[in-house]
Every structure is written in C-alpha cells, then in structure tokens.
C-alpha cells in the first residue's frame, strides 16, 4: 500500500517543465503486529534511510532494548532510523520513542541495540551489547551523577556517586550480578554477552544462534530442533490420526554420539526413544542428524526401507545408513537402504536448510510414499527464502509455520 504526496515541479534551462513524482511511503504489516513504513525504492535512491519507521506493537520484538520490554506503558513504540533491506530489522543509527517519557538513541546491529547509546538527550549514557546493557554507564541527576557498569543487564563492579564538582561521594558501593556486596568483584572481560530471545518447551535460542540465520552462515542445530518441534506439534494438531516420529539432532547425538561415521563408537538408544521405535505405529520415522559435527542430513524410515536424503552426497553415505539401521528392531537383511536423489547444495553452509526442507516435505506429503515425493527445488532462492522464513517464524509469534512455495 502506498501513499503518494504532491508532485514536485522543476524548471530546466530551456524553460520546459518536467514533473517528477515524489513517491510517498510504503507500508508493511508484519504478522506479529508491527508496521514498517519506508520510502518506495527507486533506482536512484539508496536502499536505507532515516525515513524508515517501525511501529512496534509487539513487546518482545528483537530490536527493543531489553530493559524497556517489561514496561507496558511504553507500547506501542516507534523506531526511526536505518533498517536492513533483507531482514527489515534496525541496523545502523536510530532512535526509539517509547512514550512522552523515554527516547532511546543509539546504534543498532542486526536488530539489537549495540554500542554507546543514550536516553533522553544524554541524561543516561550507557553501552549495549546485543540489546542488553553491558559495559560502563553514566546517569545524571539534578545535583549528582552515578557511574558504574553492567554485565548481561545486571549491575556489576564499582558504583560511584559524584557531586556537582565531580568529586566522589564516599563510600562507594559494589555489585555482583545486581546484588550489592561488601567487596569489589574480580575484574572480568565484559566484551561478550549472551541474550536469550525465544523459548519453546525445553528449547531456547540466544543472540549468537539467531544471527546464524543471516546469510552465508551455518545454522545452529538448536535452531533446527526448535523449529521442527513447532512443526511436529502443529502436525499433531491438524493430523491427530497420523503419526510421525521425529528424532531430532539432540536425540541423534544421544544415540550415535557426535561422531556418527566412527564405526568403533557403539550406539546407545535411550529407553524412551527405543519404546517409541518399537511401537510400530508411525507412518514414518524421521531422523535429522548433525554428521560428525560438520554436516546435516535427513533420513526417513518407512515400510522397512531406510532412505538417506543428503544435500551433499559423498563416500560416507552408506556408512551413515549402516550405522542408523542398528536402531530398528529388524535384521540388516530385512531393511533396504536407499539414497534418494535430492537437490545438491552449492555451498558449504546451507545443509541445515536443505535438511529442514526435506523434513518438511515428509509432513506435507504424509500420504505419499517417501520415494515418490517431489524433492526438486526449482531455484536456490527458495532455500534463501526458507532462511528468511525461519527468522519470520521467531519474530512473528510463529506465524505461518510452513513456508509457502
């Protein structure tokens, strides 16, 4: 949707009149409720600009500095500044107006407040890392100011109060993880910080894992298991009469260890997983595995056949199959092993996405035999779209769990 403003008229040297249409604003409504306002892009315009705005109606949006989330009166908030053209997250210089009382100015990186920031025109200057207060701060009051440091959003170290003349007011106080202590804590490096962003059941995703969803990165296995757990629960809801047993990367690691292709390492099946396999009530059993900590693959067991779906076929494929068939209550002679022809990745970092894609096809095609499913991916852009889709799932309250190709 666009809103066009009045046309602009320019005079040229030959007195002829040229009209240039001044494009107004494009509105994007995100599934989570946020509204993004940005200039319509023309060939001669930069992709980013300070005209961009985000109306933040979603309290737990990734770009909101953590200490403002639990203040209900701060919403809706408005972000003004640069955004990333691919993720539509704040990236660069910007500000957030929470209400009449709070204005947040600073740098944003990949959606997080990151760097030196200030609140209300330098009344409160502090450092952020990945959306958390992390590093030194200085807060001004009418007759004094306070200096100190945060670590992972908690007060840490010496807290110093100074008078109008800059003289230290004794005694100084000391904090360890937001708790006042008698002696100063041991000095530690404050460069790194971890912020947990999303939770579902026993799964949680932190800022480092989430950034892996940006382009040219290997996806962390926690991201894979988190997303597929959502898919599994949704499938159970809409298909209560059909069952798929999903053995995710963590379960596979428990069974086969991290070194799957090492034949000297014996498998160890947890009792709960063994019981599920023995039930023999599943339409199919899916395994998604991190092979030797370097490569993700998908395997599917159906009708006494074990299928391997590998986006980077190599000489160890049959070693993987021979290792995995050991978990099934049949002899090796009773199980057929097949390597299915599936699209091959053209880089070294998209294996997680291809494996997720192959798992999704099992759910979507529950009534189709595994070896008759169409695994073709028309263009590599669809894998890039799946990467973006995963980001959208986390940012927008799990809207549209299955990608729409």
Q: Contact 27/46 with Cβ under 8 angstroms?
A: no
If phi > 0 it is left, if psi is from -120 to 50 it is alpha, else beta; for residue 254 that is alpha
User: Phi and psi of 357, rounded to 5°?
Assistant: -60, -45
Q: Do 235 and 344 reside in the same domain of the chain?
A: yes
Q: Contact 114/126 with Cβ under 8 angstroms?
A: no
Domain boundary among 81, 112, 143: 112
Q: Contact 184/174 with Cβ under 8 angstroms?
A: yes
Nearest in space to 363 (alpha carbons), one of 230, 216, 171: 230
Question: In three state form, how does the secondary structure of 281-329 look?
Answer: CCCEEEEEEEECCCEEEEEEEECCEEEEECCCCCCCHHHHHHHHHHHCC
CA 367, 372, 373, 375: dihedral to nearest 10 degrees? 170
What is the predicted pLDDT for the residue at 172? 83
Segment 378-383 shows an average pLDDT of 78
Residue 405: inside a domain, yes or no?
no
Q: Do 107 and 201 reside in the same domain of the chain?
A: no
Residue 185: inside a domain, yes or no?
no
Q: Do 373 and 273 reside in the same domain of the chain?
A: yes
Count of CA atoms in the C-beta half-sphere (13 A) of 304: 8
Residue 72: inside a domain, yes or no?
yes
Q: Determine the Cα–Cα distance for residues 96 and 89; give it in Å rounded to an integer.
A: 13
Q: Do 233 and 368 reside in the same domain of the chain?
A: yes
- If one counts the domains in the chain, the total is 2
Q: Do 83 and 222 reside in the same domain of the chain?
A: no
Domain boundary among 79, 96, 112: 112
- Torsion 377-387-396-104 (CA) sign: negative
Q: Determine the Cα–Cα distance for residues 399 and 31; give it in Å rounded to an integer.
A: 6
Paired with 27 in beta bridges are 37
Segment 163-182 shows an average pLDDT of 85
Q: Contact 36/53 with Cβ under 8 angstroms?
A: yes
Residue 378: inside a domain, yes or no?
yes
Q: Do 211 and 325 reside in the same domain of the chain?
A: yes
Which two three-digit tokens encode residue 37? 């306002």
Residue 137: inside a domain, yes or no?
no
What predicted TM-score, i.e. pTM, was given to this entire model?
0.80
Q: Model confidence over 45-62: pLDDT tens digits?
A: 555 555 688 888 877 788
CA 266, 307, 222, 112: dihedral to nearest 10 degrees? 150
23 pLDDT higher than 70: no
What is the predicted pLDDT for the residue at 14? 47
Residue 150: inside a domain, yes or no?
no
Q: Model confidence over 174-221: pLDDT tens digits?
A: 898 889 888 878 776 666 777 888 889 999 998 889 888 887 889 999
Query: Looking at residue 351, which CATH number applies to its domain?
Result: 3.40.395.10
Helix pair angle (381-395, 351-364), 10° resolution: 80
Q: Do 248 and 365 reside in the same domain of the chain?
A: yes
Domain that holds residue 74: 2-112
Exposure letters 148-177 (e unless 16+ CB within 10 A, then b): bbbbbbebbbebebeeeeeeeeeeeebbbe
Paired with 174 in beta bridges are 158, 181
Residue 148: inside a domain, yes or no?
no
What is the predicted pLDDT for the residue at 143? 84
Q: Do 239 and 103 reside in the same domain of the chain?
A: no
Q: Determine the Cα–Cα distance for residues 225 and 288; give it in Å rounded to an integer.
A: 9
What is the predicted pLDDT for the residue at 388? 86
Report the Cα 164 to chain-centroid distance in Å. Answer: 45
Segment 28-41 shows an average pLDDT of 79
Distances (CA, A) of 146 to 10, 120, 137, 162: 55, 16, 8, 6
Q: Do 296 and 390 reside in the same domain of the chain?
A: yes
Domain boundary among 68, 85, 112: 112
Q: Do 212 and 108 reside in the same domain of the chain?
A: no
Q: Which residues contact 99 (CB under 8 A, 6 or more apart)?
A: 73, 74, 77
3-state DSSP assignment of residue 62 = coil
Q: Do 82 and 201 reside in the same domain of the chain?
A: no
374 pLDDT higher than 50: yes
Residue 311: inside a domain, yes or no?
yes
Q: Do 105 and 200 reside in the same domain of the chain?
A: no
Q: Determine the Cα–Cα distance for residues 75 and 57; give it in Å rounded to an integer.
A: 6
222 pLDDT higher than 90: yes
18 pLDDT higher than 80: no
């Amino acid at each position: 949707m666009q809103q066009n403003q009045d046309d602009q008229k320019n005079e040229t040297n030959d007195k002829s009149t040229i009209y240039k249409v001044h494009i107004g604003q494009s509105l994007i409504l995100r599934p989570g409720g946020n509204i993004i306002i940005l200039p319509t892009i023309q060939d001669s315009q930069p992709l980013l600009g300070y005209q961009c705005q985000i109306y933040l109606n979603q309290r737990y949006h990734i770009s909101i500095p953590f200490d403002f989330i639990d203040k209900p009166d701060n919403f809706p908030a408005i972000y003004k500044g640069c955004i990333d053209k691919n993720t539509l997250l704040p990236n660069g210089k910007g500000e957030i107006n929470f209400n009449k009382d709070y204005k947040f100015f600073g740098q944003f990186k990949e959606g997080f407040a990151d760097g030196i920031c200030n609140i209300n025109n330098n009344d409160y200057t502090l450092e952020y890392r990945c959306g958390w207060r992390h590093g030194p701060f200085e807060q001004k009051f009418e007759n004094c100011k306070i200096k100190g440091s945060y670590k992972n959003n908690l007060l840490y170290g010496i807290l110093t109060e100074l008078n109008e003349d800059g003289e230290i007011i004794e005694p100084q106080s000391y904090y360890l993880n937001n708790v006042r202590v008698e002696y100063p804590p041991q000095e530690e490096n404050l460069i790194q910080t971890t912020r947990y962003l999303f939770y579902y059941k026993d799964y949680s995703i932190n800022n480092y894992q989430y950034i892996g969803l940006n382009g040219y990165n290997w996806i962390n296995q926690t991201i894979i298991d988190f997303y597929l757990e959502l898919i599994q629960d949704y499938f159970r809801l809409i298909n209560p009469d059909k069952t798929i047993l999903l053995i995710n990367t963590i379960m596979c690691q428990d069974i086969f260890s991290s070194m799957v292709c090492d034949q000297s390492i014996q498998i160890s099946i947890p009792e709960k997983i063994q019981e599920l396999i023995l039930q023999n009530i599943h339409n199919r059993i899916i395994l998604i595995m991190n092979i030797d900590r370097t490569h993700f693959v998908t395997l599917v067991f159906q009708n006494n056949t074990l299928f391997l779906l590998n986006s980077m076929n190599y000489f160890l494929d049959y070693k993987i199959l021979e290792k995995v068939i050991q978990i099934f209550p049949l002899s090796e002679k009773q199980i057929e092993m097949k390597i299915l022809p599936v699209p091959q990745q053209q880089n070294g970092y998209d294996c997680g996405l291809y494996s997720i894609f192959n798992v999704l096809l099992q759910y979507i095609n529950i009534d189709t035999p595994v070896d008759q499913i169409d695994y073709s991916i028309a263009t590599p852009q669809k894998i890039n779209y799946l990467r973006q889709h995963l980001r959208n799932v986390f940012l927008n309250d799990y809207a549209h769990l299955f990608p729409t190709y």
